[in-house]
Amino acid sequence: MSLKRTRFMALAIMFFILSFGCMNLAAEDAKSAFDRYQSLYKTYQEAVMNQADKRSLEQMAADLQAASRDYYRSIGVNVTFDAENPTEPVISQDDRQDDQAVTTRAQKSELQRQYDQILSLLGSPDRVNKLADIQKQLEDYLKTCTDAALQKEAVFQLAEVVYERTASLSQAQNVLLSYAKVTRNAEFRRQAMARIKVLKRKSVVAQKREEFKQIQQTTINKWGKYSKTSWLAIPVKVWSLGGYAVNNLQRRAKGRELDKALKDYDQAVLDTYPAGSADALTRSRLVPLNTVRLLVNGRSSFHYRLERAKQATSSIYFQTLLYQDDETGNKIADILIERAQNGVDVRLILDDFFSFNKKGGVIQRLRNGGVQVLINNPILKNLLKANFRSHQKLFIIDESIAIVGGMNTGDEYAKGEITEYGWRDTDVELQGPIVRDVLDLFERNWEDLTVKKWNETGAFSKQKRAKEIITEFAPLKNVDKLIRGPLPVYFEQTPVFEDVDARFVTTFPINEKDDNVLDLFEIYLNRARTEVILETGYFIPTQRLVDAIAAACARGVSVKIITNSIESNNHPYGGLAGRSTYEPVLRSGAKIFEWQGAQTLHSKVSLFDNFAVTIGAYNINSRSHSCDSEDVIALEDHRVARAFRYVLYKDLGRCREITLAEAQSWNKDLAVKAKMQFFSLFKFMF
């Protein structure tokens, strides 16, 4: 070996040792800063509770501020402090990135703004009464539109409006055929012909839906006749039961026909998307002109849920995974029952796995009060599909306001920022055309459950007495190892943004092989140029996502992941399974931060530069990818992204960074490694 090469290798080894030492030193600095911050925070909280004298509290607050600055500096965040709340750090303006520092998307053209206004009418709850006016506006718009892409979209919308207003398939087809004959763009022509196929499928769905409704009503009537017949008239009773059984079989057959027609329609819709586009990959469309309200934590989210529900005049459509029989669950139940008894159409979809032991309590009370309740995927009905659950969360008022996000119904979700154990979670309230997409999901879910009922008996013929079972939520077992106290108040007044572009994305692993939400994350990661923050309660990424993160880091993008620590995780074994995936993510250049608050982190928010943010039910874990039906709302707006960046950096203040050295140390500890590997075998459960 040459002397030159020997010297080069020696220098390389020395550089590696120094780099590794610096990395360990940085990790130790961050950990020691965090431990000091946590210790001083607990001391300060105890002094406040014990009503210590003013001078002592001021000194403790000053020490806590210094420790807080040191910790934030160790993870690359600058903070200041508000005089009114001297212990609560505020992200500095440099880290918030004010509007002048944000590269905004190009201003929309006048033609685009005109078209967006027409789209907003199509998304309004009373669109049926406006169809003639909307058709006239689209026809006038097409006379002056000089943008080929907008012209195509306007023609497609015109065909939909003509079909909806006239129920004439031929008239709607003529709109599309006329356009296909004159356009010189081959892709636009293909899409127009695909739209014709969609309209044909839609007409078949309408026919099958009407046939199903007729046989469903006949079956309900047969059941009513059977149930009212006395057992003293045994021949008549048996004959009535036989008639009901035959009708129920016919209903199920018609249900299968409708289900097939809906699947054929969905397949036809896929062909209408531009090939290779974000729309095609995520099976969704970007919808403009929406109003978005940020609901960070249950204090704000449940305030608006309760107030909106009280004001409902026509409908309340509600879907959730978990409905607790506690103070919050019963408070909402009171409002739902009151509205149902005043003529409002109140419907609730629950998942069987988390409702199994509550059907005699608050769920029975809701049913007794007139709320229509359907249970998703009954476990005992199909054990082979028992692991496929409905994780979607929708709250829709009068078909015009929707709340979506990560929150189930229970005290732990409602009391974020109020009590120490209130979970950290995020929702958003939506108004505008995008609500139509959220409503469509609920209606399809409701119809799917109705069609697949084994028996149809109509409304409950007998009311059972609801059991009074009030449950209380237990705090985390290892809460003393975490930062005690309620969550900080993120916003005193909930921020509201208008004219926001939104995309509603869903995924159904039980029916589909594709993961539309993961596709969306990959698209956004590929677009990112400066910063990505992924916040998820449970982090068990797929290899696809790890590769996308690595590619982003290789381009110089700063990627941060915020997830639960083992102590804050309500599924600690899932946390151990997640930790087994840390090392390749950290090797790619990303940073992982574990939540240290005294609450479980349940928020699912992802930020991509200053152009997009996603909020929803989707965790970056095995269940969301391959087992649970999910939904997210993607908001492409720099103002919304800026607000959520502030929220996420505030969350980073309650996190501890996990370094590559620490993750490697777990793998060197045989006991720790064995635990992680064992529970990673069951990651499909987490």
pLDDT at res. 71: 62
> Would the pLDDT of 145 be above 70?
yes
Q: Once rounded to an integer, what is the mean pLDDT over residues 468-484?
A: 84
pLDDT at res. 66: 77
pLDDT tens-digit series, residues 83-127: 545 555 554 434 444 333 333 344 578 888 899 889 888 878 788
The pLDDT confidence band at residue 684, using thresholds 50, 70 and 90, is confident
pTM of the model: 0.84
Q: Once rounded to an integer, what is the mean pLDDT over residues 159-184?
A: 93
267 residue type, one letter: Q
404 residue type, one letter: V
pLDDT at res. 416: 87
pLDDT at res. 410: 94
pLDDT at res. 551: 95
pLDDT tens-digit series, residues 658-677: 999 999 999 888 888 888 88
The pLDDT confidence band at residue 391, using thresholds 50, 70 and 90, is confident
> Would the pLDDT of 165 be above 70?
yes
CA 474 vs CA 234, 361, 478: distances in Å: 54, 19, 12
Percent of the chain with pLDDT over 90: 59
> Would the pLDDT of 24 be above 70?
no
pLDDT at res. 96: 40
Q: What is the rounded distance in angstroms from the CA atom of residue 278 to the CA atom of residue 292?
A: 22
The pLDDT confidence band at residue 182, using thresholds 50, 70 and 90, is very high
pLDDT at res. 370: 93
Higher-scoring residue by pLDDT: 587, 69:
587
pLDDT at res. 398: 96
Q: What is the rounded distance in angstroms from the CA atom of residue 300 to the CA atom of residue 305?
A: 9
pLDDT at res. 474: 81
Q: Once rounded to an integer, what is the mean pLDDT over residues 275-300?
A: 92
3-state secondary structure 148-210: HHHHHHHHHHHHHHHHHHHCCHHHHHHHHHHHHHHCCCHHHHHHHHHHHHHHHHHHHHHHHHH
Average pLDDT taken over every residue of the chain? 85
pLDDT at res. 316: 98
pLDDT tens-digit series, residues 627-651: 788 999 999 999 999 999 999 999 9
pLDDT tens-digit series, residues 190-242: 999 999 999 999 999 999 999 999 999 999 999 989 988 888 888 888 999 99
pLDDT at res. 488: 86
> Would the pLDDT of 79 be above 70?
no
Query: What is the three-class DSSP state of 427?
Result: strand
Q: Once rounded to an integer, what is the mean pLDDT over residues 137-147?
A: 93
Higher-scoring residue by pLDDT: 98, 597:
597
Q: Give all domains of the chain, ordered by start, each with its CATH number.
A: 3-96 (no CATH), 110-281 (no CATH), 287-464 (3.30.870.10), 481-685 (3.30.870.10)
> Would the pLDDT of 466 be above 80?
no
Cα pseudo-dihedral 608, 613, 615, 621, rounded to 10: -10
294 residue type, one letter: L
Higher-scoring residue by pLDDT: 87, 369:
369
pLDDT at res. 230: 87
pLDDT at res. 329: 94
Which residue in 570, 577, 612 sits closest to 595, CA to CA?
A: 570
> Would the pLDDT of 378 be above 50?
yes
The pLDDT confidence band at residue 468, using thresholds 50, 70 and 90, is confident
- By CB neighbour count within 10 A (0-12 exposed, 13-18 middle, 19+ buried), where does 210 fall? exposed
Which residue in 504, 310, 293, 499 sits closest to 403, CA to CA?
A: 293
Q: What is the rounded distance in angstroms from the CA atom of residue 325 to the CA atom of residue 530?
A: 45
pLDDT at res. 360: 77
**Other residues' Cβ atoms within 10 Å of the Cβ of residue 369:** 18
The pLDDT confidence band at residue 353, using thresholds 50, 70 and 90, is confident
CA 62 vs CA 58, 65, 68, 331: distances in Å: 6, 5, 10, 42
Q: Once rounded to an integer, what is the mean pLDDT over residues 276-296?
A: 93
- By CB neighbour count within 10 A (0-12 exposed, 13-18 middle, 19+ buried), where does 143 fall? exposed
1 residue type, one letter: M
The pLDDT confidence band at residue 459, using thresholds 50, 70 and 90, is confident
Higher-scoring residue by pLDDT: 60, 395:
395
Which two structure tokens, joined as six digits, stand for 359?
A: 């059907």
The pLDDT confidence band at residue 80, using thresholds 50, 70 and 90, is low
Which two structure tokens, joined as six digits, stand for 475?
A: 């705090």
pLDDT tens-digit series, residues 332-341: 999 999 999 9
pLDDT tens-digit series, residues 509-558: 777 777 999 999 999 999 999 999 999 999 999 999 999 999 999 999 99
Q: Once rounded to an integer, what is the mean pLDDT over residues 175-192?
A: 93
pLDDT at res. 373: 94
Higher-scoring residue by pLDDT: 43, 397:
397
- By CB neighbour count within 10 A (0-12 exposed, 13-18 middle, 19+ buried), where does 459 fall? exposed
120 close to 289: Cβ distance less than 8 angstroms: yes
